[in-house]
Chain A
Amino acid sequence: MSRPPIPIPTRQPSPMNFQSKTMRVNAIRRTVTNHFVSGLAVLATVVVLVPLAAILFYLVYKGASSLNLAFFTRVPAPVGQEGGGMANSILGSGVILFLASLMGIPVGISAGVYLAEFGRGKMLANAVRFTADVLNGVPSIVMGIAIYSLVVMPQKHFSALAGGIVLAIMMIPTVTRTTEEMLVTVPHAVREAALGLGVPKWRTVLSVSLRTASPGIITGCMLAFARVAGETAPLLFTAFGNQFWSFKLNEPIAALPLQIFVYAISPYDEWHRLAWAGSLVLIVMIMVSVTLVRIYANRGVLKGGS
């Protein structure tokens, strides 16, 4: 295709004189500022990534040398004795997190379903959403003392159950909000198709909306899980910690973050090593779950489906 050649003007038809000294100085100043600020932004990014690298480096450097089979199979040894591990803490964390997921995830998903499927545009739904966001920002330690007062005080002893309740409450807002966000992205046509076939609403929600949004909802649950997996402060007054094997929900139970805290502030080198190893295990577990979730979520059914 041939176009008529566009005439190139020899001189800019502008009232401003771009060759004047003020304009030139101005242009230089603006270019320098531009580069300077761009440099600052790059610098900020580098400065932010340095602590991340430092923390990961120290975790691997100090933690890997203390990891051995005993760490995963033995209970803590008394002070001054070599060896010992954190097996009971890992198991205890598992028990508490299982309890928390059992209580927190169904409630969270249901609340999210209400927000997305039943309450759209209602005042009540807006209030629930807002409260969930605010609850998300309540410090974990405050949750800890509240559950201490509600559960531990009447029972008169610390328990794994109380630890599970605290973490469940902390999971609910995250699960609720991600469930809602994911359900909102499910196209209306899918729901209408189900309803048009005469499927009742509850069945539509369970087998169509939730099924379609399930990759995103699983992501949200895993993120909530990863977030509470490292929580220490609320467990101080609920699960309390324990040096032995324990399976009873009604008794104090060990948890990995708690044990790391106890070991980190202790004066013994042997315990410091175990604290590093425990942190490494904790963070590997969290990061693996977060990374898996990211990969899984990116492959989700919903990608670009809204």
Chain B
Amino acid sequence: MPSSMTSEREPGSPIPAPSSLAPDAFATANPAPGVAAPSLIRDYLNQRGSGRVADKSFAALMLLCACSIFAIVAFIFWILVVRSHLSQVEFGWKFFVRTAWDPVAGDFGAFPFIYGTLATSLLALLMAVPLALGVAVFVTELCPKPLRAPISFLTELLAAIPSVVYGLWGVFVLVPLMRDVIGPFLHKTLGWTGLFEGANFGVGLLTASIILSIMILPIISSLTRDIMLAVPNSQREGVLALGATRWEMIRIGVLRNSRIGIVGAIMLGLGRALGETMAVTMVIGNHPEISRSLFAPGYTLASVIANEFTEATGDLYLSALIEIGLALFLVTIVVNAIARLMVWAVTRGAPVGAA
């Protein structure tokens, strides 16, 4: 009922008020004409309060939870810096270029672990990137429509397998395979490069890289797929209309448009590879040495923490391990930040899950 009409009305006027909206009790409770609109809804709302307090506190609570994410990152950083203080004072920046790792003598350096981490991660990328791109191209451009969903589902299943299960499979299936079949074959055919020399126990940098490449593949391929789907169809049609074959269309129309995002996806895979722990620990051999051969056992930043943290005796030993953790934290944060920015630059504004 419009308020202009009701305000002109005297209490007890001949115009009958609709009984549902303005009963007599209501009219006598608001006798002053032109002051309040006798509306049941408004009265109900006034009785109940404006909800401003509830709204404000709800918004504040949500904001608090959102800011807790900052707090978590800040806390992790702070505690790692504090707890690694001893080692920072003792070794300074040289910690990262020293090769010694002698818990008994209290002499620590992280270089063998940095080498192991970089070598395995880069090798894993070398193997995973072409395969992941192949899968993404197949799924987005070549694959018949009914096959598309099952194949992406299967590759995502690969991402759902826990690290420790990969490790188990690596120890009992991949390691014997490397020792008896792939290792000798590589030594025979590619031995001249010097990369496949020395005793081959099955465990080592190469085995760890293979496991890692299987683990990071789904991440790279699913992100690349999303990025390729974000390329507008008009680009594809435009290139095809010029008489290009399908591959030329993919190369010129799709890959060239999404290259920044693909680099971002690869860097996200790198970030995952740098921090991967369990599977690598189980197959890398865990020996802090720097060797040219890929058959040689190695050690990574993450796996030294996993193996020695609970056994670390002495404060310096513990703080050296925490400093390794700090280094890993900072490196993965930087890699992930750059990668996210690159992926965002491409997929921003694109429909989510357009598969």
Whether A237 touches B309, Cβ cut-off 8 Å, given contacts A38-B142, A261-B167, A290-B157, is yes
A-B contact count (CB 8 A): 268
Q: Does B333 contact A138, Cβ atoms closer than 8 Å?
A: yes
Instruction: Tell me, in angstroms, the Cα distance from A62 to B168 when the chains sit together.
Output: 11
Instruction: Tell me, in angstroms, the Cα distance from A133 to B274 when the chains sit together.
Output: 17
Within the complex, what minimum Cβ distance (angstroms) separates B194 from chain A? 27
Categorize the interface residue count of chain A. 35 or more
Dominant secondary structure at the A interface: helix
Q: Does A107 contact B65, Cβ atoms closer than 8 Å?
A: yes
Residues of A within 8 A of B58 (CB): 201-202, 205
As a 0/1 sequence over residues 146 to 162 of chain B, the CB contacts with chain A under 8 angstroms (1 = contact) are 00000101111110111
Q: Does B247 contact A260, Cβ atoms closer than 8 Å?
A: no
Q: Is A42 an interface residue (CB 8 A)?
A: yes
Whether A51 touches B164, Cβ cut-off 8 Å, given contacts A117-B62, A137-B271, is no
Q: Does B72 contact A135, Cβ atoms closer than 8 Å?
A: yes
Residues of B within 8 A of A149 (CB): 79-80, 82-83, 322
Q: Is A111 an interface residue (CB 8 A)?
A: yes
Within the complex, what minimum Cβ distance (angstroms) separates A1 from chain B? 28
Q: Does B157 contact A233, Cβ atoms closer than 8 Å?
A: no
Dominant secondary structure at the B interface: helix
With both beta carbons as reference points, the residue of chain B lying nearest to A236 in the complex is identified as B306
Residues of B within 8 A of A275 (CB): 168
With both beta carbons as reference points, the residue of chain B lying nearest to A223 in the complex is identified as B160
Within the complex, what minimum Cβ distance (angstroms) separates A4 from chain B? 26
Of A26-34, A72-80, A94-102, A243-251, the one contacting chain B is A26-34
User: Among A30, A114, A145, A230, which residue has its beta carbon within 8 angstroms of that of B65?
Assistant: A114
16 contacts between A and B (CB under 8 A): A33-B245, A45-B134, A55-B169, A110-B61, A111-B62, A114-B59, A128-B70, A134-B333, A142-B332, A230-B162, A230-B163, A232-B164, A233-B163, A260-B165, A279-B168, A287-B160
Q: Which A residues lie at the B interface, using CB under 8 A?
A: 30-31, 33-34, 37-38, 40-45, 47-49, 51-52, 54-55, 58-59, 62, 106-108, 110-111, 113-115, 117-119, 124-125, 127-128, 130-146, 148-150, 153, 169, 172-173, 176, 181, 185, 198, 200-203, 205, 226-227, 229-233, 236-237, 240, 257, 260-261, 264-265, 272, 275-276, 279, 282-283, 286-287, 290, 294
Query: Which A-B residue pairs are the 4 nearest by beta carbons?
Result: A230-B162, A139-B275, A44-B134, A200-B51
